[in-house]
Every structure is written in C-alpha cells, then in structure tokens.
Amino acid sequence: MKKVMIIGAGPGGLTAGMLLARRGFDVSIYEKEPMVGGRNAFLELDGFKHDIGPTFLMMKFVLDEVFEEAGKKVDEYLEFTRLDPMYRLQFRDVTVEPSPDPDKMRRTIDRLFPGESAGYDAFMRGEGRRFDLMLPCLQKEYSGLSTFLHPDFLKALPRLSLGRSMYGQLGKYFRNERLKISFTFQSKYLGMSPWECPAAFTIIPYIEHAWGVYHTKGGLSAISQAMARAAAENGAKILTGMKAERVILNGKKAVGAEFADGRKEYADEVVLNADFGYAMSKLMPPGSVVKWSRENLMRRQFSCSTFMLYLNLDKVYDLPHHTILFSEDYKSFIERVTHGPGLPDDLSIYVRNASVTDPTLAPKGASGLYVLVPVRNNMSGVDWEKEKGPFRDKVLRTIAARTGISDLERHIVGEKVLTPADWENGMNVFLGATFNLAHNLGQMLYFRPRNKFEELDNCWLVGGGTHPGSGLPTIYESGRITANMISRRHGVRFVTRNLQVS
C-alpha cells in the first residue's frame, strides 16, 4: 500500500485524499489549522458562522462526480439550495437580478435593456459550444506540450478567442454597457479585470446561467467538512494542528515533510495543497527550486486581493442572498485594483446575506453579513495597520448609501476584519493574492504550475495555484487530476466520470 502525504486540507487536498483513499492508498492529510478547509473553512464568531472564502457554488455536477468516484452520494452529506435569482447586481441607474431560468432572464433583459434578449440567446448558444469544447481540455493534465496535440484541444483551439478579452467577447452579444458588465463581473472570481481576462473565461457566466448558483446548508465550508468525513470513511487519516515547515528532499525527490513540532513524516508521494507561492518560497529547502523560486515568482502576475468584513448583526435585513454594488466607473475601479497604487475611492462591494436562505448560520432573529471589497495585493504599498479602520468605515458608509440601510452600524454586535496583510501573514497567502496566480494566457494550462510538479520527483500540486486554476470546481478538478495521475503511476485501476475503467 503506497503512502501518500497531503500537506493542506483545502478543497483540492480533500478531493485528492478521498479519491486516493477510496482506491486503496494509505493517505494522511496534514492541516496546520484546528479544522479542515483552508480558505474554504469557516469562522465561528460568538455563535455566528461565516464562510472565510468561497460563497458561490457553481458546476455542482463536478462535486457530484468526485463524491461518486469516492464511492459516496453527495446528497447524503450536504443539503443544497439553488438560488433564483442568482444574485442582485446594483448599478446607480439600474438593478439586475439574473435568473438561471432562460424565460425569466429574457423577460428581465427585455424589461431593462429593450432589444438585447436576442444577444442573450446568442450568448447561451455560443458560450455553450465553447464550454462543451473547453471542459475536456481543463480536465486534462499538462505535463508535456504534447497535450496541446490532443484532438480535444485541437477542436477547442478555434473557440479560445485568443487575443480577445472577456469584455471584448461580450461585445459580440450585447451593446448596453451595464448588461455587458453583468456578464463580465465574474472575472472577479479569478481576481482579474474583464478587460484583461482571456475571452475563454466567458464560459464562467455561461456556467452560472446554464446550471445555476448553489448554497449549501451551513455555508460552503460544509463542503470541506463533508469531504473530510468521506475521506476518513474511506480510510484517510486527517491530522489537524500540524503545520508543515519544509518538504524533505532526497536529492530532487520529495520524500516527506518536517512539522513545526519537530516531527518528520515520510511518504512515497507528497501532495502540496498549500498556497502555491507560499509553498515555493517557504516550504522548499533553499535552492531546491529554480523555475518557481521567490525571485522568479515576483516576476509573475498575481491576482488582486480582498478586504473582508465578517459582521454579526442583531437583525435580518431584507437583502438578497448575494448583492454586488458596482462603483460608478467600474473600469477605473478595476484598473486601480489590478495595477494601481493605493486604495480606490469609488468602491465596488460584494455583500452576502446568507441568513435569508439559511437560518442555521446565526442565532434566531440575527444574521451574518459577509462583505468583500476587491483591492490590490500587497504590491500596492498600502499600510494596512494604518488604513484598516478608515477603510472599514468607508466600506460601511458605502453599503449604507447604496442599499438605503442607514442603521447598519448600530446593529453590528461583533465583527472580524481581514486585510491583504492578514491574508499573507495569517493565512499564508503569497502577496495576499487571494485568487493566486493570475489566469493570463502565459499562466494557463501547460504554462501554469503543473499537477505533477515539474521541478521535483514524487511531488504533486493541487489547489488554485496549479492547473486548471482558481474557483471551487476547478480546484476539485485539480485534486481529481492529481489523484488520477498518482493512481496511473502505481497501476491502480479506477473509475472515471464516464464510468469507464482506466
């Protein structure tokens, strides 16, 4: 029985762990925090439960598949709610509430943007074809350039719209500026500007409209809890409070890890689920990696960061589950967030009011608000110790002004703030870039860190920093790809998503 060590119990590590344990590997998952989940864990604050990171579940079918391949039924572990409307998009002069129901969505567009509903139909057809061609490419591993010669990739290549941005692609379907932004804001899931994000990612809003957006009872962190339970039932050992200090090498081969308590553990295969930049700069022995050394990482493009407020309220507001409040000049805001120094003035803010859907997250009659403001990563030069308080107050004033909730501050009974500095220093996120390496063409597929880490033997990567990228569904895919590659390496037969024996 081959031993597999997984460092980090985020969604990628947990996916790989439950699959490999199902296939007979001796799996141990080491997590530095007292609970599993990483950025997909939860914060418990005086009886209120807040998801730390992801709050949108898309492509639920991927989650269904990885549970099925682990020998489990996801609905026996989690309770799902499909949101309709999916979210509220609030501009100064118009409010849009997109629906996954095509008829409802056409009526919404006809009412708010007369003459544009034909563009919605063209969008669903065109991006549906792109998605069907791209999904098999995203589910492949890119250990060698030869993957680009696979028939699936060659069929998809003409549909990648190389050289075009996501915003430019939406111009093929819609004329109205607000409507285009309503289908391009999803680039924020990647921490990128829609004016720079490759057009291929226009499949993200298509995915939302085709399959919907889900909430899981107990918050999306419940997914990590369910995965840990499934992995343990399959025989995996999950050890929390185990902070890895460095990967142990034998020449250029990963053979184990040393932990903060001085313990050393060894394995036949080592899977890294730590933040990629952190793993390369902190967990690797000095001089052991060259391509992805700290010096070379600093030459790479990283995503934006996020300023977070987790608010305990003694009342429940009449706000949708998800609300996005757009700045007046959204393009200028995004440019400041992705490239500019300092902090933006006119803010765009995401607010989640999940208690209107899920009363288990707060005491009766109370609610928790999750507030996210995109800001530049720690290349911004912002002194967050100095700016944290004033920026927090500005965010609350902006929410009050945009939503009409004038008494918000008076109903806060508890709160926690996370800044980009906290992401880097407390959560081990390189540069505080919460969405990891950017998803530009030079950092995708073969050019992104590979699932089989190219600089060391017996070393594997899962998570948002590796292929296929950030976002829960793609992180699940990274765990599945890595589990499949390790299984093939050791001649272990397994059942794929198509129920064919590999």
The pLDDT value recorded for residue 497 is 65
Let me know how long the chain is.
502
As a whole-number percent, the residues of the chain with pLDDT over 90 amount to: 87
Which CATH number characterizes residue 139's domain? 1.10.405
Of 212, 246, 264, which one is at a domain's C-terminal end?
212
Give the Cα separation of 375 and 344 in Å (integer).
8
In this prediction, residues 55-67 reach a mean pLDDT of 96
Instruction: Based on the fold, state whether residues 403 and 420 are members of the same structural domain.
Output: yes
Note the pLDDT of residue 158. 84
- Helix, strand or coil, per DSSP, at residue 26: strand
Give a yes or no: residue 500 inside a domain.
Answer: no
This prediction has a pTM of: 0.95
Same domain membership, residue 237 and residue 178: no
Selection from 306, 432, 310, 305 nearest residue 371 by Cα: 310
pLDDT digits (tens, 9 = 90+) for 156-190: 888 888 888 999 999 999 999 999 999 998 887 78
N-terminal to C-terminal alpha carbon distance within the chain: 19
| Residue 502 covered by a domain | no
Q: Which helix H or strand E contains 225, and what residues bound it?
A: helix 221-233
pLDDT band at 152; cut points 50, 70, 90? confident
Count helices and strands in the chain by DSSP H and E runs: 15, 19
Do 123 and 188 lie in a common domain? yes
- Do 76 and 17 share a structural domain? yes
pLDDT of residue 500: 38
**Whether 73 and 221 share a structural domain:** yes
In a domain, 184, yes or no: yes
Q: Does 498 score more than 60 pLDDT?
A: no
- Statement to judge: residues 238 and 276 lie in one domain: yes
Contacts of 453 (CB under 8 A, 6+ apart): 272, 459, 460, 461
Whole-angstrom Cα distance, residue 62 to residue 60? Answer: 5
496, part of any domain: no
Same domain, 342 and 406: yes
Residues 320 and 256 reside in one and the same domain: no
My answer on whether 309 and 414 are in the same domain is: yes
pLDDT at 161: 83
Pair of tokens at residue 403: 């939503």
Largest CA distance in the chain: 67
- Average of pLDDT values for 408-435? 97
Q: Does residue 495 fall inside a structural domain?
A: no
Domain that holds residue 158: 101-212
pLDDT tens digits for range 260-283 = 999 999 999 999 999 999 999 999
CB-CB neighbours of 152 under 10 Å = 15
Q: Is residue 94 part of a domain?
A: no
Neighbours of 42 (CB within 10 A): 22
Task: Look up the CATH number of the domain holding residue 72.
Answer: 3.50.50.60
353 and 374 fall within a common domain: yes
Q: In this structure, is residue 410 part of a structural domain?
A: yes
In the predicted model, what is the mean pLDDT of residues 349-377?
97
Amino acid 103 reads D
207 and 222 in one domain? no
Give the chain's mean pLDDT.
94
The separation between CA 380 and the C-alpha centre of its own chain, rounded to angstroms, equals 22
What's the domain count of the chain? 3
- Name the band, by pLDDT with cuts 50, 70 and 90, for residue 432: very high
* Domain boundary pick from 396, 430, 464: 430
**Is 498 inside a domain boundary?**
no
Tokens 């060659």 correspond to 154
SS3 299: coil
Share of the chain above pLDDT 70, in %: 99
Last residue of a domain, one of 170, 190, 212: 212
Same domain, 194 and 146: yes
pLDDT digits (tens, 9 = 90+) for 482-492: 999 999 999 99
Element (H, E) at 107: helix 102-112
